[in-house]
Amino acid sequence: VINEAISIARKPESIWQYWMDVSNDVHWRSGITKAVWTSEPPYGIGSTGEHTHKDIGVMNWEVTSFNNGSSFEFIHTAGGLKGSIAVFSVESENNGSRVN
């Protein structure tokens, strides 16, 4: 289990918008060289995507929990991390956000 939390001087809405554009994952997720949604919006439970990792290759995933604006979870359905689960959440903290 990897659990990290950081404070970011941006509003939760800004963080959420950034996350929902999964192409941004290449900027903050180590080793990710490409990230795309493979299903159409609106995004929610059952939505699918694909990450390409420099060492692991292509990994497909499906959203299993989705609380619009605050948290989401996905499970890797194919690729080198098949079966692993990722959980992301954001909440207000002082003048910014707490991101887990």
pLDDT at 1: 74
Question: What average pLDDT does the segment 32-57 reach?
Answer: 97
Query: In the 8-state DSSP scheme, what is residue 24?
Result: G
**Which tens digits make up the pLDDT trace of 53-87?**
999 999 999 999 999 999 999 999 999 999 999 99
Structure token digits, residue 86: 């990722």
Q: How far apart are CA 42 and CA 12, in angstroms?
A: 19
Looking at the DSSP assignment, which residues form a beta bridge with residue 53?
A: 32, 57
- Written as one string, the DSSP assignment of 29-41 is STTEEEEEESSPS
Can you tell me the distance from the alpha carbon of 92 to that of 89, in angstroms, rounded to the nearest whole number? 11
